[in-house]
Structure 1
Amino acid sequence: MSRSFDISIGEGDAFSVDVARHGDRATVTIEGRPYHGSLRPAGDGYELTLEDRTERLWLFVAGDTVWLHAFGQAWQAQLVDPVERSRATAVSGDTATAPMPGTVIAVNVEAGAAVGAGQTLVVIESMKMQSEIIAERDGVVDRVFVAIGDTFDRGAALVALEPLDEPEEG
């Protein structure tokens, strides 16, 4: 069984976490780097083994907030809805960027096309979920950096916009 999450710690950027279970063991992949281990109940917490290191871990979950204490540190994390995050933050300024790693499944614009605020520019698939990357404002497509089937990392430029030419008053 495999599950994927987007997690944000503090005010930092969200990052992807994939958990794949293999019997009593698991592989936790954080931003593409795999960690092999297990998690077992132990008293009022858990015993976490990652690679060859075993530590006590305490965990409390309320809604989409997770409090975690392990390795002598404490963290508060938010589980992030990747669809909402892509709608809210994928376009900043003049360039639509990837909110998470994934694959392009549709490109709805081409260079030179006029677009309106809220118009879908690109559709991506990340963690088996489709997200529409929308234009934050009216503009003209300056450049499309991706094509259908392309894979990309979080933060990759997808589409660049330039302002609409305003008609001159005369």
Structure 2
Amino acid sequence: MTLQISLSEPREVRLARSGDAATVWIDGLPFPVRTRPDGGATEITIDGRREKVWVVTDRDTVFVHAFGRAWALDVINPLEAKLREGQGADSATAPMPGVLVALSTEPGAEVVEGQVVAVIESMKMQTEIKAPRAGVVERVPLAVGESFGQGAPLVVLASEEAE
């Protein structure tokens, strides 16, 4: 199956895996990769270079921490995207367990899709949490400094019907 990963623009990505060896095609270019578990991370070897990679998924978003940087990748399955058209999420949820380190909104505030509404810390790395859609913040269930589990709502928007 071919999926798209969206950073600033969608990229076509395919993966073929056999044991600890894999080939990742990005926009038709092959990249041979070897992997092995390394604690809570995965060690990958690309062109003889070894790096630790942490990967956490939350629905169609994959959070990757590697090479001293962090990325949030939106995985777009064309069939699932077609089935979900018109459905909006009502909360920005935690992709992994952690601690809330900053809030940039409050109940009653209007937010736009993609606006940073919170910052969390997990695995000693900070991740920006963005509004899943435009709307009005209904509630913020946690205070800065509080811990949470994966999937916990961090910012809840009023339902689209209520707006």
Larger Rg: 1
TM-score when normalising by structure 2: 0.49
